[in-house]
Amino acid sequence: MEKLMEIAKKVSDKVEIYSLEKTENGIVFENAKLKDIDSKLQSGFSLRIIKDGKLGFAFTKNLIDREEFVQNALDSLKGGVEAKFNLPLTKDLPKLQTYDPSIETLTNTEIVDECNRICDILSPKTNGQINLYAGSEVDKIRLINSNGTDLSTESSFYYNYTSIMYPGGYSSISRVVTYKHFEKTPDECLNYILNTYNQASKEVTPKGGKMKVLFLPETLYVLMWRLWFATSGKSLYEKQSPISERLGKKIFDKKLTIYNNPLYDRMPGARSFDDEGSPCQHFLILENGVLKNFYYDLNYSNKLNKKSTGHGFRSAAWGGDSITIKPTPFLSHLYIKPGDKSFSELVKSIDRGIIIAGALGAHSGNIPNGDFSIGLNPALYIENGEIVGYVKDSMAAGNIYKVMKKVIAIEDTFYPAHSGTYPSILFDNVSVSTKS
C-alpha cells in the first residue's frame, strides 16, 4: 500500500487507499440435514484520488500493476465528480476489543456439530422444516491517506441463524445469534423459535383493518430504512428529507430512542473509525421521540458546511461488495433502546392484532416520504392475548411518521437483526389487509 501511495501522490492532490481481507466459512442445513459447506478468502483494494477538486475512484481484487491501478483512477476523473472535501488526519482512537483469536481455530466440523445439536433439540418437537445458516468470518481493514492517517482493525464474527419454515412457502420463524467467538445458541433463543412457531402452526384467515401490530426485531428494518434515508446528509443535500426542518422537534412517540454506536464492542463488528478514517462515536438520532441529529460523511458534510459525524461507510441498504462502493453516509451500527415489557407481555397485551415475523418488498413504497407497503411473510394472528395461527397472503401499509407516533410498548431486550440491533415494538392502529 505504501508503494501505491507514493505513485498516486505524484499525480494527484489527495489520496486514500482502503484494503479489505475477508475470510469466511459457511454452513447450510436444510430440513435438518447438512446441505453445503463453503470456505472462501477475499481481498481487495479501493483507491480514491482528488485532483483539481474532482474525484477519481478505482478498485481491484488483485493488486498486480500499481501504475495501471492509479491510471484507472485518473481516467475516472473524466466523470467530473466534484470533491472539495479534505481527508482527515486521525490518531489516538479508543482501543476496542473486536477480535477473538479463538475464531482462527474454529473448524467447520465444530460448526456442523452445533447445527446438529440444534436440529436434535428442535426436530422431535415440531413438524416444521428446520433450516440453519452458520459460520465464521474474520475481516481485516486498513486505511491510509496522504494526510498521514494510517488505521487498521481486525474483527471476528460467529453467527448462527436458525429458522423453522411453514409448509408451502418461504415464510418462517427465525432468529440469529452473533458473537466474536464461537458460542452455542442459547436455549432461550431456540425455545422462542420453537414455541412461537408451534403456537402459530395453524393457518387462519382473520379479517383485515386497523389493528395492533408487533414488529419483531427481524422486520424493523422496514421502518429503519425510511429513517436512515430521512436523516442522511445526502438526503438533506438533495432536498429529499421530509424532516429536514424538524431538528429538535418531536417526530415519533416519546418511548423511542434510536442511536448509532460503532464503539459498542460487546457486539461483533465494532469500529473506532469509519471507512474514510473519521472517528466513530456514540451518536443519537432520536431521543424520547425528539429528532437530535443528522449524520454525514466527508463529502456531504463539506457540501452542507457541517463536520463529518464518522458515518462514511462503504455500505448500501441493498448490499454489495464494499470494495466496489465509494463511502456514503450510512448508519452501520444502529440500535433501538429497549423498553420494559417481555415478549410474552407484549403478546398478552394485544386484544386483536398481528405479529410481523417476516417482510417482503421492504424497498417498495415511497421511501423518501416514509411510506411502506409490505407483504407479511408470515403474519401471526393474535386474539385475546394468544397467538392463534399464521396468516398467508396478507399485507401491512403505512407511513413511519404516523405509525411510529403510536408506540404501545417496547420489548425489554434487543437482538441482532437485519441492519441493526433491535427489540420488538408494538404499534397501534396499523393498516393490515388479508385475503378475507
- Tens of pLDDT, residues 335-361: 999 999 999 999 999 999 999 999 999
Query: Taking residues 28-49, what's their average pLDDT?
Result: 96
**pLDDT of res. 22:** 95
Packing angle of the helix pair 2-11, 66-75 (nearest 10 deg): 40
Query: How far, in Å, CA of 253 to CA of 402, rounded?
Result: 10
Query: How far, in Å, CA of 191 to CA of 435, rounded?
Result: 31
Query: How far, in Å, CA of 220 to CA of 414, rounded?
Result: 12
The total number of residues written for the chain in this structure:
436
Task: Quick: pLDDT tens for 89-134.
Answer: 999 999 999 999 999 999 999 999 999 999 999 999 999 999 999 9
Domain with CATH 3.30.2290.10 in the chain: 2-196
User: How confident is residue 317, by pLDDT bands cut at 50, 70 and 90?
Assistant: low
**pLDDT of res. 431:** 97
* Torsion over CA: 351, 357, 358, 361 (sign): positive
The CATH class given to the 2-196 domain equals alpha beta
Using DSSP, how many helices (H) and how many strands (E) does the chain show? 9, 23
pLDDT of residue 320 exceeding 80, the answer is: no
| Residue 65: count of CB within 10 angstroms of its CB | 11
Query: How far, in Å, CA of 388 to CA of 274, rounded?
Result: 46
- 424 CB burial (10 A radius; 0-12, 13-18, 19+): buried
| Residue 67: count of CB within 10 angstroms of its CB | 10
Extract the C-alpha cell encoding 367: 421511501
User: How confident is residue 364, by pLDDT bands cut at 50, 70 and 90?
Assistant: confident
Query: How far, in Å, CA of 408 to CA of 429, rounded?
Result: 10
Q: Which residues pair with 399 in a beta bridge?
A: 371
| C-alpha distance across the termini of the chain, in Å | 62
Burial readout 272-287 (b: 16 or more C-beta within 10 A, e: otherwise): bbbbbbbbbbebebbe
Query: How far, in Å, CA of 57 to CA of 49, rounded?
Result: 6
User: How confident is residue 374, by pLDDT bands cut at 50, 70 and 90?
Assistant: very high
